[in-house]
Chain A
């Protein structure tokens, strides 16, 4: 595949190296002259100097025949623009954009840029995963499908601990899809019993998160709001 990477910073450079190793044809576009020289020493003609949000620079780099455009500059507005013209003007089917500031994610979404990768967001998710009692962990938001998947730790004093799944009384729109126990997971039936210390995965309609969390945490154990 021909992959066009805009932004030759740490992300773009390392990505280019990995993709070249896997046999892809890659061009990196980098606007900073000094940075370009550094990357060029290793990647040679796979790097071009230029402002990747200028259309002629993208055209010179062959965006019209690119199978994928990866916008990973340090500026979110640049990444949004590159992704937008890549898809809408040049008809590139696969686009990946980097979101540097998670607060800008809404702009990517509004302008139809996806998928969006945010290192800050990934690290936040890892922190949520590593720090217990932080509340439900968002594993996946399926915006278009209007569903979300969350993970919860089952507290000893919670209504769910010791109950069968069907007796927990979860509201409509919430479904336990997996129970993780002793390092293994299984898909429960209505008769499966939830134990304290289990981790449960649920798929939810939007806005049910708060009410569902109450079934798996104890009143005393709830985190400070």
Chain B
């Protein structure tokens, strides 16, 4: 599988490394050329030597997306630090480049929910944290009751 990841922060870089070590082809885009350091942290070889590719560019630049190989991507991950940027490029990947699997990170639960209802595969870390915390609190109750 060829995976294109836009946004190489904590989340994007971690997903990229896992996908690469799972044996997939991985291409990463970030506007900051230094972001590649996150991909190489804890590795004894460079990201390219490990088989990954890295493109410097902003998310809305079609040229950067093309250079990074969006036309042959099987999966697209939008994980920049901007919710709106992620939502726009995810729709570009889905509608214009018809990438079969598009996953988008959205921090705001309200936007994540509405776009999920529209058919976009949104992942909301905030909502996940809320649910985990609620579950942890409820779990605490049960322990005391038991």
- Chain A 59-88 near chain B by CB (<8 Å), digits 1 or 0: 000000000000000011110110001001
Q: Bound complex: CA of A212 vs CA of B97, how far in Å?
A: 33
Chain A residue at minimum C-beta to C-beta distance from B88: A77
Most chain B Cβ neighbours within 10 Å, of A75, A104, A107: A107
Q: Say yes or no: is B121 at the interface (Cβ < 8 Å to chain A).
A: no
Are A80 and B88 in contact, with the CB atoms below 8 A?
Answer: yes
Q: Say yes or no: is A25 at the interface (Cβ < 8 Å to chain B).
A: no
B118 to chain A: which residues have CB within 8 Å?
Answer: 88
* With known contacts A54-B108, A54-B110, A85-B114, A110–B82 Cβ distance under 8 A: no
- Chain A, interface size category, equals 20 to 34
How far is the CB of A84 from the nearest CB of chain B, in Å? 8
Q: Say yes or no: is A56 at the interface (Cβ < 8 Å to chain B).
A: yes
Q: Bound complex: CA of A53 vs CA of B82, how far in Å?
A: 11
Chain A residue at minimum C-beta to C-beta distance from B114: A89
Are A80 and B84 in contact, with the CB atoms below 8 A?
Answer: yes
Q: Bound complex: CA of A101 vs CA of B59, how far in Å?
A: 13
Are A78 and B84 in contact, with the CB atoms below 8 A?
Answer: yes
Are A55 and B88 in contact, with the CB atoms below 8 A?
Answer: no
Are B114 and A104 in contact, with the CB atoms below 8 A?
Answer: no
A106 to chain B: which residues have CB within 8 Å?
Answer: 62
B108 to chain A: which residues have CB within 8 Å?
Answer: 54-55
Q: Say yes or no: is A111 at the interface (Cβ < 8 Å to chain B).
A: yes
Q: Bound complex: CA of A76 vs CA of B61, how far in Å?
A: 12
Chain A residue at minimum C-beta to C-beta distance from B96: A110
Are A77 and B114 in contact, with the CB atoms below 8 A?
Answer: no
Which residues from 93 to 146 on chain B have a C-beta closer than 8 Å to any C-beta of chain A? 95-96, 108, 110-111, 114, 118
Cross-chain contact of B84 among A81, A103, A110 (Cβ < 8 A): A81
Are A104 and B60 in contact, with the CB atoms below 8 A?
Answer: yes
Are A77 and B96 in contact, with the CB atoms below 8 A?
Answer: no
Cross-chain contact of B60 among A54, A81, A107 (Cβ < 8 A): A107
How far is the CB of A16 from the nearest CB of chain B, in Å? 22
22 residue pairs of the A-B complex, CB under 8 angstroms, read A53-B83, A53-B84, A53-B111, A54-B108, A54-B110, A55-B108, A56-B110, A75-B84, A77-B88, A78-B84, A80-B88, A81-B84, A81-B87, A81-B111, A85-B111, A89-B114, A101-B60, A103-B61, A106-B62, A111-B88, A111-B91, A111-B95
